[in-house]
Amino acid sequence: MIPSSINSSDSRAAGAPSIADMQEAVSALLANGKGILAADESLPSIDRLFALHHIESTEENRRMYRTLLFSSPELGRRISGVILFEETLRQRMNDGTPVPMYLRRCGMVPGIKVDRGLLPFTGMDGEQRTEGLGGLLERLEEYRRSGARFTKWRSVLRVGNGLPSDACIRENAVGLASFALWSQEAGLVPLVEPEVLMDGDHSLEECEAGTTRVLKGVFAALAERGVNLQRLILKTGMVVSGRTCLNQASDLLVTEATLRCLGRSVPAAVPGIVFLSGGQGEVEATRRLDGICRANTGPWKLTFSFGRALQSTAMRVWGGRQENIAAAQQALLLRADWNGLATEGRYSTLMERERLGSLPSRKH
Ligand code: 5MM
């Protein structure tokens, strides 16, 4: 069983939900020069990623991998919070410390993915809705007692060929709004994630138009439900060309389209926007983050909440082998450092080139 009280601040989090706790979590998550590590891959997702590197996806291997990431020396200098999968919230570090307690001791806010994945959105062409509202109120209480201070719910929308439909935007927006309201009532800061997929050959313009409609729909639903915008964080994608679009937009156009889209759809009351990487390469995601953060004149804090774009090299270097742990940690720290610099507009791809020779490599 999960201990009901973890340390002094965890015991406070486990008491009555407090607005001060939520405000403290928002400030910590949006601290300057830091971003959020998304390590909340569901079982099918982590199975797929491990399979790419011939790593068996057992509960112990998943624990070893995630705890390797979290124990990277001084990770908290660049990582403000970590999104966990439910299994990881209940796991322990090698010395027996519960994962949420360990993260807090290292200055990182523990969070949890609370949605239960995607289902087809009936009648619509390949569109999906997110499930997980059933029993959520009870689960939120338990997550808070276990030390989580923020929550995440991911909706997925497709762009191109007339998508996303208004019906699918509405369905997912209402789900996100319910999740956000219930999280705040439980004293947890919601990370509201409507992800517009990069899959497809849509243009940058189509991505911008689709993302703008989605975000407007989400903020309309949040307003209807009376969600407090100052106590939530938006997690969204950068506005980019579809993965198979022949005319890939330049970084400058991505920056302009992303900031224009956010400016038209995200209220100023929202304290922060964190970007997912969505299948962009590690370098590409960092480079674009840097461009967007340099050009941002909007009212919100902007930073990263990457999954694959923080972990890809680290997972490959680890490869499931004990002897590669230090090298994998070094890869994660470098990536986190470069992304932290990007949030301050201080990253350059030259940094990657300078490190090329000394980059961590995998022992076979
Ligand atoms: C880490 O992956 C998260 C969980 O996804 P699944 O439910 O599909 O396993 C995902 O929500 C993630 O937080 C975001 O998509 C950001 O990850 P990327 O890799 O796009 O930065």
Within the chain, residue ranges assigned H as helices are 8-14, 19-29, 43-52, 59-70, 86-89, 99-105, 136-145, 166-185, 204-225, 251-265, 282-295, 308-318, 325-343, 349-355
Closest CA to 32 of 355, 303, 225: 303
Tell me how far the alpha carbon of residue 157 lies from the centroid of ligand 1, in angstroms. Answer: 14
Q: How many CB atoms lie within 10 A of CB 160?
A: 17
Among the listed residues 34, 152, 235, 301, the single catalytic one is 235
216 is known as an active-site residue: no
First-to-last alpha carbon distance for the chain, in angstroms, is: 37
User: Ligand 1 pocket, 155 CB below 6 A?
Assistant: no
Q: How many CB atoms lie within 10 A of CB 60?
A: 9
User: Ligand 1 pocket, 271 CB below 6 A?
Assistant: no
Which residue has the CA at smallest separation from atom 20 of ligand 1? Answer: 278
The CATH code that applies to domain 10-358 is 3.20.20.70
User: Ligand 1 pocket, 41 CB below 6 A?
Assistant: yes
To test the pocket of ligand 1, the residue of 29, 36, 41, 304 to mutate (highest count of ligand atoms within 8 Å of its CB) is 41
Tell me how far the alpha carbon of residue 284 lies from the centroid of ligand 1, in angstroms. Answer: 17
Question: What predicted TM-score, i.e. pTM, was given to this entire model?
Answer: 0.94
Q: Which residues of the chain have pLDDT under 70?
A: 1-15, 123-124, 357-360, 364
User: Ligand 1 pocket, 195 CB below 6 A?
Assistant: yes
User: Ligand 1 pocket, 115 CB below 6 A?
Assistant: no
Residue 359 has a pLDDT of: 62
Tell me how far the alpha carbon of residue 305 lies from the centroid of ligand 1, in angstroms. Answer: 9
235 is known as an active-site residue: yes
Cα gap 361→364, rounded to integer Å: 10
Contact assessment for residue 76 and residue 87, using Cβ atoms and an 8 Å cutoff: no
User: Ligand 1 pocket, 49 CB below 6 A?
Assistant: no
Which residue has the CA at smallest separation from atom 1 of ligand 1? Answer: 41
